[in-house]
Amino acid sequence: MKISTKGRYALRMMYDLALHREEGYISLKDIAERQNISKKYLEQIVPLLNKSGILKTNRGNKGGYMLAKKAADYSVGDVLRATEGSLAPVTCLEIEPNECPRAGECSTLFVWEGLYSAINDYLNNVTLQDIIDKNSGSSGGDYCI
């Protein structure tokens, strides 16, 4: 499984919005500059996040984007599924129930189910707040010589 640029940039965008939540609505221009991502690329990601109800939008002079909920309420899995679609490592696990005609006799299905479970367990248990907390602890302010 490989996460696309779209998924990685969406996560960085969401992280940026979480970091700057107190500032209200944030423009894509500001996010693009801080995250060193093309504004045009972010414009392609926004509809995917909007469709999932992850973002609040405001048009006009003070317009922009903000998280619809607190950073702790968004898992990395939520963000990646909104942009990547299924996180299943094999096609037969993308739809439930598994409709593969070989599912009943597939000798390797348990491997892919286990991998899919591990992926979801991990990504669903890391939140935007966890990313903020992890990065605030490594800001360089606390050091020993």
**Nearest C-alpha neighbor of 120 from the set 88, 91, 96:** 88
Average pLDDT over residues 25-36: 95
Please tell me the least confidently modeled range out of 11-15, 92-96, 98-102, 134-138.
Answer: 134-138
pLDDT band at 3 (very low <50, low <70, confident <90, very high): very high
How much is the pLDDT for 141? 47
Q: List pLDDT tens digits, range 89-124.
A: 998 898 888 888 888 899 999 999 999 999 999 999
CATH fold label, 5-136? Arc Repressor Mutant, subunit A (1.10.10)
Q: CB–CB of 51/82 below 8 Å?
A: yes
Q: Write the CA distances from 65 to 16, 21, 75, 93, 103, integer angstroms.
A: 11, 10, 18, 33, 43
Each residue's pLDDT tens digit, 43-93: 999 999 999 999 999 888 888 999 999 999 999 999 999 999 999 999 889
